[in-house]
Copies of this chain bind each other. A is one copy, B any other.
Amino acid sequence: MHNPPDTLRNDARPLPRDTALRDRARKVIPGGMWGHMDARRLPHGYPQFFAGAKGTRLRDVDGNEYVDFMCSYGPMILGYGDPDVEAAADAQRARMGIANGPGEILVELAELMVDTVPAADWALFAKNGTDATTACVTIARAHGGRRKVLVARGAYHGSAPWCTPWPAGTTAEDRAHLIYYTYNDVASLKAAAEAAGEDLAGILVSAFRHDGRVDQEMPTREFAGAARALADSHDAALILDDVRAGFRLHPGGSWEPLGVRPDLAAWSKALGNGYPIAAVTGNDRMRDAARQIFVTGSFWCGPVPMAAAAATLAKLGDGDAVAHMARMGTLLREGIQAQADALGVGLRQTGPAQLPLMLFDDDPKLERGDLFAVTALRHGVYLHPWHNMFLSAAHTEDDIEIALKATGKALEAVARAFP
């Protein structure tokens, strides 16, 4: 766990109700919390527990309100409690929440995914991003019976034993057929493909390099093209992990702007604007393999998240939402850069403006980042010190203005503490 410097401890707002809940949680949850939402990964002062969510605002259990730039780590894309999504979900729930099979909405949503995603000839639905990435790997292996899958070093593709970033409880065999390459490094990708040889089943790529704690990188055209060409020459599957970035860079898939289409893609997070759903899409070359595998879950055919997803896709539209998120993200990014330049604070803002990451120069222990984030938080803006953030279609220029007031204070604090 990340230990904040003592200076931060003193400055943070007291969170008595949050503290009391953490005390209770430690008794009945190992360590008090688990996974990516564990607030011990964040500087002191961040709340663990939330009580309200509406539009772009979150309220913690102590009544503090924040303009949110994490969007629940991605799922929120139209605003918390979006009325159109909620209405679609409510209407479905009033008819049928779950049954011995899917509703008509399954077919409608699969058709909508195929219409929305140019690379997709078909779709399957699940619950977790990990379900989708794992199914993609399984389909890639079923297609042709080969085993090796190329994965970028440091990339996050879920928390199953084959991909979880922490080794505890996993075995060497869980990753026996993974071969690692470096994102955007064509030579390393080619070397990995060569090592796989005749046994190459798939090449797994993130939409862009979004590994956390390091600068983000957009894929180069050379890298994307090389991945596509290697998959083609080996009759392997190019698998796009669009779980994190999906619907924020392009409505039809994050590699559409590059002109490179995957054979399989994994989706989740923003698909249902917070309702639990994931999807695998694929092309006709992978259809038979997808038919051969057995993947399922008790709630995978639940029609309510599917209705939410269909409403989300409809409202996101043909690119207006992406353009809006890019514009808001750019306003935020340019505003922060101007503030930092005026103060002489060195920082790097990387990746797409819709999924921004900020890291400070000369900040190996993330002390500047922590101070920045926790100061912004105290001024009512929820940012993240080392994980990419998320814009949504609900963010307004007013939200950005509020954010920039907070980042101004936060950058001043950094300039004072690290002169």
Contact = CB atoms under 8 A, between A and B. Distances in A.
Contact of A96 (B53, B275, B290, B300): B53
Interface stretch (A75-83, A204-212, A316-324, A402-410): A75-83
Chain A interface size, under 10 / 10 to 19 / 20 to 34 / 35 or more: 35 or more
B169 A297 contact: no
B29 A124 contact: yes
Contact of A97 (B39, B61, B81, B296): B81
A299 B160 contact: no
A340 interface: no
Nearest to A113: B28
Given A166-B292, A171-B177, A50 B96 contact: yes
User: Looking at A70, A102, A142, A165, which has the most chain B CB atoms within 10 Å of its CB?
Assistant: A102
A76 B28 CA distance: 26
A124 B34 contact: yes
Interface string A285-315: 0011111111111111110010000000000
A264 to B, nearest CB: 11
Interface stretch (A5-13, A133-141, A353-361, A366-374): A133-141
Nearest to A85: B97
A416 interface: no
Number of copies: 2
A95 B57 CA distance: 12
Given A25-B110, A171-B177, A128 B299 contact: yes
A130 interface: yes
Nearest to A269: B298
Nearest to A72: B98
A177 to B, nearest CB: 6
Contacts of A47: 101
Nearest to A81: B97
B130 A297 contact: yes
A29 B107 CA distance: 8
A296 B163 CA distance: 12
A47 B101 CA distance: 8
29 contacts: A24-B111, A25-B106, A30-B282, A30-B288, A34-B124, A34-B294, A35-B300, A37-B100, A37-B102, A49-B103, A53-B95, A58-B99, A61-B103, A72-B100, A72-B298, A80-B96, A80-B99, A86-B93, A128-B131, A128-B298, A130-B297, A138-B169, A140-B169, A159-B294, A164-B295, A168-B294, A169-B292, A171-B176, A173-B176
Top 4 nearest A-B pairs by Cβ distance? A35-B296, A138-B169, A142-B169, A166-B294
Interface of A: 21, 24-25, 27-31, 33-37, 39, 47-53, 58, 61, 68, 70, 72-76, 80-81, 86, 93, 95-104, 106-107, 110-111, 113-114, 121-124, 127-131, 134, 137-142, 147, 159-162, 164-166, 168-171, 173-174, 176-177, 243, 268-269, 274-276, 282, 287-302, 305, 382
